[in-house]
A and B are shown apart, each in its own frame.
Chain A
């Protein structure tokens, strides 16, 4: 455009102001502004510092275990506080196992619930169900543990575990004695706890698919299910993957409910009914009684591993979210919006 070139060859200004408001505003900014800005910047830096401190302190506290067992810590199946021999495999296994159960169930139920809410339910139902599921997300973990211990486990034992193990006890997945607490109970409680996350995020994702896309499909005469399958799900794919990763992150770190229903055993078993421990539940179960320095260091190392893994998983979820929808899906949506005071602006 002519404007651009004429500005480039503009005659040199006769009098230049000398100060450049874009480049050097700090110089003229008042002292209060500078102090305020600095204070807020320090607060922001504190967030980084906290993360760094967590990594550093955990690393230092787990040093004895790291130097003793090295990388083999992850694959050793032996966890014996008496002989001071520690390997994290049972807990890595427990975490993977329960997380897998929970993720499969919660993703299936959560995505379907979200589909029901966005594509089928009417306004009133949608609001009530949405609120109920949000409330489910807010119930403290320890209450799910209590419920799991006194409601879910007895029911599971009498109506699922015992009948199954009596009829198909030879099948490895269902082998072994039924205690009650165990991998299945932990996986189910976890599933209940992460369903709201999956449902809420999936709902955001579905809602962010433009209405015009749905209309275009319906205009071709397809049914709702065909529209969902051919248009909505493909469009929402990336976002749903983000929801799954986020759910995995939640499930891996969840502590109290799992601690209360998993049975506290350091064993690697494929059976759904076997008691076990996850990385987080073993810390909750044993840290208080870990008087030996090495035992404590081993638990600290598990904490460090958990910290790093969830960090990675969350970064992954964030990356997926940024690639697809908004950052907004990382936290439950808040109803709050600032007043704009546009009372009658058309």
Chain B
């Protein structure tokens, strides 16, 4: 079976600075693939190559191939590619409009005018994003009034509303508190059946909890890919092993820098 997304011998440079080096990676139908690695290892860059968001950055050069269902993404109109390969970002990005209009934004832009149809889409998307019960009475309230976790689920709902096949999640919980993070993780597990999901995270426990396969990146290269349990329990590459072994340290360091302290319990979770 052809993979949904595949990168093959992909090199990417920001001007003279290499960001990805000879990356080969595939994403399979209906799986949750987690990409882990230290900050600056290129995991977000790789994610952004899948839906050509890197086009926006001046001076980006790409060598190698990236394919979506066997077709080079560079031969697909970016707007049509991005409709099929949706993306959710690190910080919640509610548009400056109501909750309803946020979710309806994509379908409207893609030509859905019928009010009833829009209502249907909004409700379905919000339900799938597990937000419906919380917002059904205030759909016309500004999205900015929601909490950070709700905003992030709203952004997921907004992505779902354009009916993508793949959802790229770029550290979707790094700006959220543990409670909101848990909800998003639950949601990822629920969506896994219907969508193909690529999750970039530097929360290793999150990767272990929600992903089917995990790819470990270091300095722009994919060091190791494999089924999550395998990689976490028996890493083949010594670099992966070192990175995973340093986990408590990583979590602690992130806790100091990041918006919230990681709960102590997570330290010994493994």
Contact = CB atoms under 8 A, between A and B. Distances in A.
A–B contact at 8 Å CB threshold (below): yes
Interface of A: 3-4, 6-7, 10-11, 13-23, 25, 28, 30, 338-346
A142 to B, nearest CB: 39
Interface string B87-115: 00001111110000000000000000000
A16 B145 CA distance: 46
A10 B11 contact: yes
A6 B11 CA distance: 11
A16 B11 CA distance: 10
Contact of B96 (A4, A18, A20, A341): A341
Given A7-B13, A21-B54, A344 B148 contact: yes
A9 to B, nearest CB: 11
A20 B61 contact: yes
A30 to B, nearest CB: 7
Contacts of B142: 341
A14 B63 CA distance: 9
Given A338-B96, A343-B145, A346-B260, A21 B220 contact: no
Contacts of A4: 16-18
A3 B220 contact: yes
Given A15-B9, A22-B57, A343-B151, A6 B64 contact: no
Contacts of A19: 72, 74-75
A6 B92 CA distance: 36
B233 interface: no
A21 B65 contact: no
A14 B64 CA distance: 7
Contact of A22 (B60, B91, B95, B144): B60
B91 A345 contact: yes
B144 A339 contact: yes
B175 A345 contact: yes
Contact of A13 (B16, B64, B77, B219): B64
A22 B74 CA distance: 11
Interface residues of B, number: 48
B92 A345 contact: yes
The 5 A-B pairs of least Cβ separation, nearest first, read: A341-B144, A7-B18, A22-B60, A19-B74, A17-B74
Contact of A14 (B9, B59, B145, B259): B9
Interface string B1-30: 000000011010100111001100000000
B11 A13 contact: yes
B52 interface: yes
Most buried by B among A10, A25, A339, A344: A344
Nearest to B180: A344
Contact of B79 (A16, A25, A30): A30
Contacts of A3: 18, 21, 219-220
Most buried by A among B21, B74, B95: B74
Nearest to A15: B65
Contacts of B96: 338-339, 341
Given A3-B21, A14-B64, A22-B58, 19 more contacts: A3-B18, A3-B219, A3-B220, A4-B17, A6-B18, A7-B18, A14-B9, A15-B8, A17-B63, A18-B72, A21-B62, A21-B74, A28-B78, A341-B93, A341-B94, A342-B91, A342-B148, A343-B147, A343-B148
B18 A17 contact: no
A344 B175 CA distance: 10
Given A13-B64, A21-B60, A7 B78 contact: no
A16 B65 contact: yes
Given A13-B9, A18-B74, A28-B77, A343 B58 contact: no
B147 A344 contact: yes
A16 B63 contact: yes
Nearest to A12: B63
A115 B264 CA distance: 50
A22 B9 contact: no
27 contacts: A3-B18, A4-B16, A4-B18, A7-B11, A7-B21, A10-B11, A10-B21, A13-B65, A14-B9, A17-B64, A17-B65, A17-B73, A17-B74, A18-B72, A19-B75, A21-B54, A21-B55, A21-B62, A22-B59, A28-B77, A28-B78, A341-B92, A341-B142, A342-B92, A343-B148, A345-B259, A346-B175
A15 B64 contact: yes
Nearest to B53: A21
Most buried by A among B62, B92, B145: B62
A342 to B, nearest CB: 8
B244 interface: no
B192 interface: no
Nearest to A29: B78
Nearest to A8: B18
A55 to B, nearest CB: 33
B55 A341 contact: no
B11 A30 contact: no
A267 B175 CA distance: 71
Contacts of B61: 20, 22-23
A13 B8 CA distance: 9
A341 B143 contact: yes
Contacts of A343: 144-148, 151
A22 B220 CA distance: 19
B222 interface: no
Interface string B174-205: 01000000000000000000000000000000
Nearest to B42: A3
B46 interface: no
A94 B175 CA distance: 62
B51 to A, nearest CB: 11
B167 interface: no
B8 A22 contact: no
